[in-house]
Each structure stands twice: as structure tokens, then as C-alpha cells.
Amino acid sequence: MEKKPIEIRKRLEDLYRGSYTNNSFMFTRFLSPTDAAVAFEVAGENSVKVWGGVEGCERVMVRFGDAAQLGYEVDFPINVLKISPLHPKYCEALTHRDYLGAFMSLGVERDTIGDIIVKEKTGYAFVCDSVAGHICDGIDSIRNTTVICAKCDPAGETGIVPEPELEEVMIIVPSPRIDAVIAKLYNLSRSTARNLFTAGMVLVNGHSCGNESLIPKEGDVFAVRGHGKFIFDSVGETTRKGNVMVRVRKYI
């Protein structure tokens, strides 16, 4: 069950207060982009770090604590699981939902599971350290496919975890304002796109964005709840009708 925004804020405030009082790092479990953005409202920029396992993850943990002030670093308590078919030639085409359902059937809570990346018949799941062993021990099949689950070192000999895939998209918009870009990219009316900002459903670089007239900068990362995530690349040529060409990269 998802927690209400007021519960999320209270939990984040408690963790930030605990980090400050005890001079130590404090971590959340995995949060949605909009919930994680609240951390920046609760604490200062230097006291918040977010990470999901690799660059571009949608679900992330929040860490409270300023490494410069504390004088040391601590890794995020995230483990990477690699779930491979025992017989690749005969395995089913498993989806994100299949992997998630198998994990949840073991009784683990949803917020202990981050992103799941499916690549060439293999699933890579980012999970809390506390449930990694339980999942590895409990998963031997997903649907009708027998699988092998093992902890995976992203930088080691056991294989490199793939980052989320990106698709380059060129769109033509009346102006490079972010509401125009979002409306065109997700096939929405301009008014519907503006309402997303009012509802707090648009994030830029992990922060809540309430300014629908914002002109994005190269490299800005936008997450639009219920629609997707993209990186703003550049503004190109102006058309004969006065519109502009914009290039973005959508997360697939």
C-alpha cells in the first residue's frame, strides 16, 4: 500500500532530524520520483543524495547527511540481483511485471524493490540489502521459466548491469517552454500539460517543478508522473511557421 504524502513527509523529516542529531547517514527505502523530491524541501541540497543503483533509475533511495561535514562516505544499502533463465533457449519472454510479481509473492514489501531492468532474457533488480538474500533463496522460477538468481557486482566480473535505454526523439513545438515540450512529447493538450505542474507531477533534476514556462537547459532530466521520463538535449532550427525543433531522449 502506498503511503500518503503527509506520511512520506513526516518520515523524511524524522530521518533528516535523526541524521542531524546523531551525526550519521540515514536512508529511506525506495521512493517514487515525486516522493523523493520532497526530501529537498525537507533538507538542504547538501544534506540530500538520491540513488537507485545506476544512472537514470526511476525509483530511488534518499540518503540524509552531508559527507563533507561528517567526514566520511557510506554506500547506499542497495543490492543488484541478476535473474537469468536456466535454459535460455526455452524461456518465456518475461516482463517487468512478471519479475515484480515473483518478488512480491515472497512477502517482501514494495518499497524494498527499486527499478527492474529487463535485457536479453535476463532481469536485473535493484533491491534493499535487507531482502536480497531472501529473494535469492526464494526465487527458482518465474511463471513457467526456471531461473537462477544471484547477487551481481555491477563493476565486477559477474557482469555489468545495463542502464535504462534511451530513445532519441525530435519534436516540433511553438516554443521551447517545458509545458509545450511535455504536451507534444506525450500527446497532451497544452492545458492538460499545465495542470501537471499545478498538481506537482513534474520534476526537473529530482526537484518539483511548478513553473510551466521554464525554458529547459541542455541535460535537464524531467520526470512526468504517469507519463515517463526524458532528458532535454537541445533546441534546433526554426521552421517557416515560426516553430522550433527540439531534441530529447526518452527513457524506454
CATH number at residue 176: 3.10.290.10
Please tell me the total count of domains within the chain.
Answer: 3
Task: Determine the pLDDT at residue 154.
Answer: 61
Decide which of 154 and 207 is more confident: 207
State pTM to two decimals: 0.86
How far is the C-alpha of 179 from the C-alpha of 44, rounded, in Å? 27
| Residue after which a domain boundary falls, among 29, 49, 70 | 70
Range of the domain at 64: 5-70
pLDDT at position 157: 45
Asked whether residue 160 is assigned to any structural domain, the reply reads no
Reported as a single tens digit per residue, the pLDDT across 131-162 is: 999 999 999 999 999 999 999 866 544 456 77
Residue 110 falls within a domain, yes or no? Answer: yes
One DSSP character per residue, 165-195 reads PEEEEEEEESSS-HHHHHHHHTT--HHHHHH
What φ, ψ does residue 105 adopt, rounded to 5°?
-65, -15
Q: Are residues 170 and 232 in the same domain?
A: yes
| Residue 161 placed within a domain | no
Give the domain-ending residue among 25, 51, 70: 70
* Proportion of the chain above pLDDT 90, given as a percent: 84
Residue 73, number of CB atoms within 10 A of its CB: 8
Domain boundary among 151, 183, 199: 151
Please state the rounded mean pLDDT for residues 233-241.
90
| 39-95 per-position pLDDT tens digit | 999 998 889 999 999 888 999 999 999 999 999 999 999 999 999 999 998 899 999
